[in-house]
């Protein structure tokens, strides 16, 4: 037998629930609105420091001709092309090596790099440039890939694409001094802003760029591009010589087209 509830108490309860529902709905709409503007309108400023207004000297005068000139300068800074960035992890390498020179690709690692180069060749995009890490395993991987692509693709090397960018949460079982994390994080942030940004206004066609580097770097770029906490990168796995594809639209919106793609390799060649 249910206990009877006085009508006055019932009315107050319904009123409170109704009010709470409205508050939650308003909060939901407000939160959605904030997320919308944060995701798409302020990405270029918060993550790449390339908001259009930050690229043009401000005008403090109210004169119409100066304001018109300022508006034209702002318009001239707008991007009109999409940058496609292919992040390639190096192949499997000798983990027992004591120095970077000893940590060369294994036989399987060289096969993995070959499969990836073959895949990129089949895609047949108009590759714009290649950037490789300074570490041996990345340079070996890049060399194998490069042999299967057109010879005229410019290639550069960057020491920004190495190291452990940020202390993971939860902590890794492998201890690393906090000082190293602090140093590497600064380098990774510089690398992120250098490589992950909208196309410059003078670029009229879409570009397709290859970056051959390391799992920590790729995870950091992906997490920051998607506005997720980089500390959670250990929750992601990345196959050796796999392809991760980011696209940056003219408005700064980033799309993760694929992550750790290695499905083009034979099953027995896939490792991480």
| Residue indicated by tokens 């018109």 | 68
pLDDT tens-digit series, residues 205-220: 999 999 999 998 999 8
Average pLDDT over residues 102-123: 97
Average pLDDT over residues 140-149: 97
The pLDDT value recorded for residue 188 is 79
Token pair recorded at residue 79: 């991007």
Q: In what order do the strands lie in the sheet with 155-158?
A: 155-158, 127-133, 207-213, 83-89, 243-248, 254-261
pLDDT tens-digit series, residues 5-54: 444 444 444 444 454 444 444 444 433 333 333 344 444 444 445 566 55
Question: Does residue 65 or residue 168 have the better pLDDT?
Answer: 65
pLDDT at 200 over 60: yes
Confidence at 76, pLDDT banded by 50, 70, 90: low
* Residue 3 DSSP label: P
Q: In terms of DSSP bridges, do strands 243-248 and 254-261 run parallel, antiparallel, or are they unpaired? A: antiparallel
Please tell me whether residue 179 adopts helix, strand or coil conformation: helix
Alpha carbon distance 236, 65 (integer Å) = 53
Q: Decide if 101 contacts 107 (C-beta within 8 A).
A: no
Average pLDDT over residues 166-179: 57
Alpha carbon distance 189, 230 (integer Å) = 11
Q: What element of type H or E holds 221?
A: helix 215-225
pTM: 0.72
């Amino acid at each position: 037998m249910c206990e009877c509830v006085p009508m006055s108490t019932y009315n107050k309860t319904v009123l409170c629930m109704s009010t709470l529902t409205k508050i939650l709905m308003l909060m939901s709409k407000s939160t959605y609105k904030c997320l919308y503007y944060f995701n798409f309108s302020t990405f270029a400023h918060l993550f790449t420091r390339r908001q259009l207004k930050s690229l043009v000297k401000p005008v403090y005068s109210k004169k119409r001709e100066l304001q018109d000139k300022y508006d034209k300068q702002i318009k001239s800074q707008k991007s009109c092309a999409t940058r496609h960035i292919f992040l390639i992890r190096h192949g499997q390498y000798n983990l027992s090596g004591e120095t970077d020179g000893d940590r060369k690709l294994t036989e399987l690692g060289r096969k993995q790099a070959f499969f990836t180069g073959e895949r990129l060749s089949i895609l047949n995009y108009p590759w714009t440039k290649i950037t490789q890490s300074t570490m041996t395993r990345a340079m070996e991987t890049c060399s194998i890939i490069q042999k299967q692509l057109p010879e005229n693709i410019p290639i550069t090397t960057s020491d920004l694409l190495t190291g452990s960018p940020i202390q993971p949460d939860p902590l890794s079982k492998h201890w690393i001094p906090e000082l190293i994390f602090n140093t590497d994080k600064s380098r990774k942030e510089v690398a992120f802003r250098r490589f992950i940004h909208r196309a410059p206004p003078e670029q009229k066609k879409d570009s397709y760029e290859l970056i051959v580097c390391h799992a920590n770097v790729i995870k950091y770029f992906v997490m920051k591009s998607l506005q997720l906490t980089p500390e959670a990168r250990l929750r992601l796995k990345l196959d050796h010589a796999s392809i991760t594809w980011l696209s940056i639209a003219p408005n700064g919106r980033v799309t993760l087209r694929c992550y750790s793609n290695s499905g083009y390799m034979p099953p027995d060649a896939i490792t991480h």
